[in-house]
Amino acid sequence: MDAQQITEILANPYAQQLLHGTDPLRLAYDGLDGDPRVVPIGFWTEGDRVVMATTPNAPKVPALRAKPKVAITIDTNGFPPKVLLIRGTVDLETVDGVPQGYLDAGRRSMAEEQYPDWEAGVKGLYDRMVVIRVSPTWVKLLDFETTIPQAVEELVQAKAAGGQG
């Protein structure tokens, strides 16, 4: 998939809703023991990149250094579901303090009156964080109105042609 296709899909209004909404991102990666992991994590965007931050001692940090390929899903619980699937590679950067994007992502996910205490707690806790930037290499948006999973699309076509599913 080329960069223009990725940019076009990420610019879709449904993709933008998912990228800037309150639904959690789920990050899938390979652990150092070879077993897969999926973790919910707060996020923000920088252009076409999806960005997260974590503690420097988080188990995902050495695992992502060793195997930087990841998969992401951001999805809704409503009907019809909206699903943004992303595959990509990560870049890791250790920074002092708390990135503004992390604070902005936190603000999106909580009531306004909760934010000041949360922000103070986060700034008091984290002296350093590791920023995880995912550069997409593949993207798929499923809105179940204009796009559906390929396997379901094939089944619909086979049924329409008189075949079995």
Is 123 inside any structural domain? yes
Cα(3)–Cα(44) distance, rounded to whole angstroms? 19
Is 30 inside any structural domain? yes
Q: Which residue from 105, 98, 6 is spatially nearest to 49, judged by alpha carbons?
A: 6
How high does pLDDT run on average in the chain? 93
Considering the entire predicted model, what is its pTM? Answer: 0.89
pLDDT-derived band of residue 45, with 50, 70 and 90 as boundaries? very high
Structure tokens at 86: 């992303």
Is 165 inside any structural domain? no
Structure tokens at 130: 């590791």
Is 53 inside any structural domain? yes
The tally of domains found in the chain comes to 1
Is the pLDDT score of 164 beyond 70? Answer: no
Is 91 inside any structural domain? yes
Is 130 inside any structural domain? yes
For residue 38, the enclosing domain spans 3-160
The mean pLDDT of 3-10, rounded to a whole number, is 96
- What is the predicted pLDDT for the residue at 163? 67
Q: Are 62 and 94 in contact (CB under 8 A)?
A: no
CATH of the domain at 38: 2.30.110.10
pLDDT-derived band of residue 165, with 50, 70 and 90 as boundaries? low
